[in-house]
Amino acid sequence: MLKYQQIASEIEKYIVDHNLQQGDKLPILETLTAQFAVSKSTITSALDLLERKGIVFQVRGSGIFVRRHKRKGYISLLSNQGFKKEMEESQPTSEVIELDVVKPTQEVMDNLNIGPEEDVYYVKRIQYINGETLCLEHSYYNKAIIPYLNKEIVSESIFHYIQEGLGLKVGFSDMYLQADKLNKEEAEYLGLEPSDPKFCLEVIFHLTNGQPFDYSKNIYNYKQSQFFIQAISHY
Amino acid sequence: MLKYQQIASEIEKYIVDHNLQQGDKLPILETLTAQFAVSKSTITSALDLLERKGIVFQVRGSGIFVRRHKRKGYISLLSNQGFKKEMEESQPTSEVIELDVVKPTQEVMDNLNIGPEEDVYYVKRIQYINGETLCLEHSYYNKAIIPYLNKEIVSESIFHYIQEGLGLKVGFSDMYLQADKLNKEEAEYLGLEPSDPKFCLEVIFHLTNGQPFDYSKNIYNYKQSQFFIQAISHY
């Protein structure tokens, strides 16, 4: 982690610890520079990072302000964005239904950018939150990039393993979202009725070099899932 | 528009005009600098902006590559992100059902950060795409910020009016998403059955100074709407 990233984490922690709310003003640049004992350019880089992550907004000539939505229990769609603590408090757990090496379907080939002869790890899991089903996950990992997975790894955080265990650098992701009706199998896994609504989230994760390594299709229990995005300005 | 923003638009146009695909490499920095006849720092700022918008990704020591998803007909959730042309081709139109000045409900007060005595413009519209209903919109505008709206304005682009007509600077937005069942009124407007799925998107738009000015609740026809997000890395 670079210095400015570390400072960004500390400012984020400061916001949480002081329970700052949306619109609350952060100390001025000079105060932050003195407080963290780093250069002005490091603080500026840290604040730019926090702005890109949707955690603060900067008003020219006026100061730096906190962004923090008021609603509880929403899942952030931009991973690692916002305040991890909130999610950790609800203690999600997961159950592995299936772990297999398979040949990719056309859909998996298209999304992972691979040919029919390649192998993929298929992981089917159910996630639980507050004792209720949160989602049914179907994940496909390119085996040429993720050469080994086992039940222990996939019942914990796969991303932790990919980053810490394999030393791979996770980059950007493409997400596709829509509402639809549950099919019979999905309804059974989620404890809902067939043709109840579902929130579908497909995510293709890429390494920082642009290679897609994980294609996941997540079917969320509509009664347990609400999502949020703190979008930055593109105007 | 600043110089680097203009260059960013031109690079984006270059990507569209040359029909570049995900993973295609852009010319090297020196070539772009010469091609657009600007300084290296302007090109760097333009590329950083395009990276934040999810339009390119940069690989250290390797080059700049295009991000462009392959799926057609998806709506970008991060406004102005990606390729506007795609949406324009499907020619969305809208019908104004209601335009009124009202007192805010508790929900509207919470989201616009105003008191019960303030006035808000309430706009109810249906959007159509390819001759089908796309969504039912309920929008609330803080009248202290948007002092005047009429049918003509709200049947066109309200944001165009806010930016060009009122000279306001649109900043960041908070979005909340979930799937649920349509109620009877929503189903009627959308031409669907009650208890069919709906994709709900709530958006709170803020000015660059952090003031929320627009709280919108959009109910999407699940058969006509699919969304995408080109997320940048937060790892």
Q: Are residues B187 and B221 in the same domain?
A: yes
Q: Is residue A82 part of a domain?
A: no
Residue A11: give the domain boundaries: 3-68
What is the spatial distance between Cα A212 and Cα A214, in angstroms, rounded to a whole number? 6
CB atoms A234 and B53 under 8 Å: yes
Q: What percent of chain A has pLDDT over 90?
A: 69
- Chain A residues in contact with B220 by the CB 8 A cut-off are 179
Name the packing angle between helices A3-17 and A29-36 (round to 10°): 110
- Is residue A123 within 8 A of residue A149, CB to CB? The reply is yes
Model ipTM value: 0.89
Strands (E), chain B: 56-59, 63-66, 75-76, 93-102, 120-129, 132-142, 170-181, 197-207, 212-221, 227-231
Residue from B56, B172, B192, B201 whose CB has the most chain A CBs within 10 Å, to mutate = B172
A198–B233 C-beta distance less than 8 A? no
A38 and A140 fall within a common domain: no
pLDDT tens per residue across span A4-37: 999 999 999 999 899 998 889 999 888 999 999 9
Suggest the residue from A163, A213, A229 to mutate for an interface test with chain B (most B CBs closer than 10 A).
A229
Per-residue pLDDT tens for B16-50?
899 998 889 999 888 999 999 999 999 999 998 89
Return the number of CB contacts < 8 Å for A and B.
Answer: 167
Closest alpha carbon within chain A to B24: A210
Task: Look at the block and give the residue holding tokens 């090109």.
Answer: B43
Whether B174 sits inside 8 A of A231 (CB atoms) is: yes
Is A202 part of a structural domain of the chain?
yes
The pLDDT of residue A77 is: 86
Query: pLDDT (tens digit, 9 = 90+) per residue, A129-143?
Result: 888 999 999 999 999
pLDDT for res B82: 40
Q: Are residues A156 and A183 in the same domain?
A: yes
CA distances in angstroms from A234 to A79, B38, B77, B171, listed in the order given: 19, 23, 11, 8
Which residues share a beta bridge with B127?
B94, B135
Is B136 within a domain? yes
Q: What is the mean pLDDT of residues A56-80?
A: 84
How many domains would you assign to chain A? 2
**Does A234 fall in a domain?**
no
Cβ within 8 Å, pair A171-B229: no
Q: Which residues of chain B have pLDDT under 50?
A: 81-86
A179 CB contacts (<8 Å, ≥6 apart)?
A: A197, A198, A199, A200, A222, B179, B197, B198, B199, B220, B222, B225
Nearest chain B alpha carbon to A74:
B176
pLDDT of residue A81: 42
pLDDT at A2: 87
Q: What is the pLDDT of residues A169-221, one digit of tens each?
A: 999 999 999 999 999 999 999 999 999 999 999 999 999 999 999 999 999 99
Residues in chain B: 235
> Using CB atoms, which residue from B23, B52, B229 is nearest to A210?
B23
What's the pLDDT at B88? 54
Residue A75 domain-assigned (yes or no): no
Whether A75 has a pLDDT exceeding 50, the answer reads yes
User: Which of A175, A209, A226, A235 is most worth mutating to test chain B (most B CB atoms within 10 A of its CB)?
Assistant: A235
Question: How far is A8 from B138, CA to CA, in rounded Å?
Answer: 37
Whether residue B185 is contained in a domain is answered as yes
Q: B192 and B220 in one domain? A: yes
Residues A46 and A107 in one domain: no
pLDDT bracket for residue A234 (50, 70, 90): low
Bridge partners (DSSP) of residue A228 are A76, B176
- If asked whether residues B58 and B171 sit together in one domain, one would say no
Domain boundary (B38, B68, B98) is at B68
